[in-house]
Amino acid sequence: MTYEKKLVIGLFGFGVVGEGIYRVLKQTPTLQAAIKRICIKHPDKKRNAPAELFTTDADLLLNDPEINVVVELIDDADAAWYIVSTSLGSGKAVVSANKKMIAAHLAELLQLQVDNRTSFLYEAAVCGSIPVIRNLEEYYDNDMLNSVTGIINGSTNYILTRMNEDGMAYDDALELAQELGFAETDPSLDVQGTDAANKLTIILNHAYGIISKPEDIMCKGITQLHPTDSVYAKEKGYSIKLVARANRVNHTDVAAYVLPTFVGPRSQLFNVRFEYNGVIIGTRLADEQFIYGKGAGRYPTSSAVLSDIAALRYGYKYEYKKARTGVNYQISTDHVLRIYVSCENMADINRLDFIAIDETYISQNRKYITGTISFDKLRKAAWLNNPDNSVIVFAEAGPAADHQLEELE
Ligand SMILES: NC(=O)c1ccc[n+]([C@@H]2O[C@H](COP(=O)([O-])OP(=O)(O)OC[C@H]3O[C@@H](n4cnc5c(N)ncnc54)[C@H](OP(=O)(O)O)[C@@H]3O)[C@@H](O)[C@H]2O)c1
């Protein structure tokens, strides 16, 4: 549907992003989009907007036939699912930034869009201000995607930068990230890698047409990293980053994981610091391309929400073209990784799990082992989830392999 008339918006949430988009829209009159009502949770909070705009009654927005666009920016995934599914069900266009809700309900959301022929846009849900989804949907439509590799959680990148570059303790760096508004309301979503897995679930759909659940993605956050890991990284010239990666391992299978990763200076990700995000897109024809920007924060995230609202003026919808290529990609467990495992007690690590061991180091403080392991063995290894052990993957096992997929004539 193209909106000849004005976009009449029902806004849910008036927090970091909600208030941001309220302010931005006030300063963008040319867009012809006006917020009619704002639904929030706590009526007694002081708001920087006229009191008559606010309500705690969601149905007042959902049942208002004049509201043709719902912008959902709340921090409660269950309530967001009710808001978004009800809105799409009644034919309203929806813009959301809620990656947790979208990743959990991907299949149902795809169906709702088909059934109701309405737009559901969520650029802000993946890497804040960086247009990852729109690029995967539109630009990388024909050139075969070999891989998508990125730092897609600004909060953990901020924490790791502070720890690696300033020697800050983990707890202090996390507190600072929260103070600056980079961390999720529930920071465990960030530091355990769940937020990145939610985003990778969405990326997998737009890159390869895969409909998966975040639980299908192997995911390790940064909570098990040990200070000696940074010492190892510095000695070898690496930086430790939380990297999300999806790469084709053959013509039907895609490896997908979120893991702490040693990134070397030749990678574009090496210089992605603080709350910034960066995504390397590896393609068959164009080799590697890199997109970089702010992955969180009030105005960067509002910029993506604004872009989605503007796209509704010309009736833009995601077409989910990758699901219609005739290739049914699936998540693979049949590939190998080169990893480093550091531990308190070497007896914890079953060396027989490895295909090959490159290096073993034992000191009084800490021990480590590096080697090649099958992905399947790694994800099933009992020692992986022992809080005394940290696992970091070497990045170079990945991108170089992309080039071996197929030779061009
Ligand atoms: N912050 C970022 O940089 C960023 C970046 C990308 C994506 N996102 C996503 O954007 C969304 C919003 O994040 P945020 O940082 O703006 O959160 P936030 O600052 O914590 O604000 C959340 C807002 O949601 C409202 N709310 C919560 N439950 C509600 C309900 N059931 N009904 C109506 N309103 C409800 C709260 O109301 P009260 O004001 O009354 O408490 C508050 O205004 C989340 O999905 C987040 O993952 C955020």
pLDDT at 180: 85
pLDDT at 297: 87
Asked whether the whole model's pTM tops 0.85, one would answer yes
Ligand 1 interacting residues, C-beta cut-off 6 A = 12-18, 39-42, 45, 58, 73-76, 79, 97-99, 124, 128, 181, 184-185, 296-297, 301
CATH number of the CATH domain containing 74: 3.40.50.720
pLDDT at 324: 86
Please check whether residues 150 and 47 belong to one and the same domain: no
352 half-sphere exposure, CB direction, 13 A CA radius: 1
Mean pLDDT split into 10-residue runs, the chain, 409 residues:
75 97 94 95 98 98 98 97 98 98 98 97 96 94 87 95 89 90 82 97 97 96 94 94 96 96 96 96 93 93 97 95 89 95 95 96 93 97 95 71 52
CA-based nearest residue to 43, from 62, 60, 68, 63:
60
Please check whether residues 221 and 173 belong to one and the same domain: yes
Cα(35)–Cα(55) distance, integer angstroms: 13
Q: Please state whether beta strands 390-394 and 253-263 pair in parallel, antiparallel, or not at all (unpaired).
A: parallel
End residue of a domain, out of 89, 121, 153: 121
Q: Is residue 323 part of a domain?
A: no
Please check whether residues 289 and 394 belong to one and the same domain: yes
pLDDT at 262: 98
Catalytically annotated residue among 199, 220, 294, 322: 199
Q: Is residue 290 part of a domain?
A: yes
Domain that holds residue 117: 7-121
pLDDT at 166: 87
pLDDT at 183: 76
Number of domains within the chain: 2
End residue of a domain, out of 88, 121, 154: 121
Please check whether residues 334 and 380 belong to one and the same domain: yes
Please check whether residues 249 and 101 belong to one and the same domain: no
Residue 7, token pair as written in the block = 């976009």
Cα(240)–Cα(251) distance, integer angstroms: 31
N- to C-terminal Cα distance for the chain? 43
- Atom 31 of ligand 1, residue of closest alpha carbon: 79
Q: Is residue 318 part of a domain?
A: no
Q: Is residue 309 part of a domain?
A: no
Please check whether residues 63 and 180 belong to one and the same domain: no
pLDDT at 133: 97
Mutate to test the pocket of ligand 1, among 11, 12, 16 (most ligand atoms within 8 A of CB): 16
End residue of a domain, out of 121, 151, 167: 121
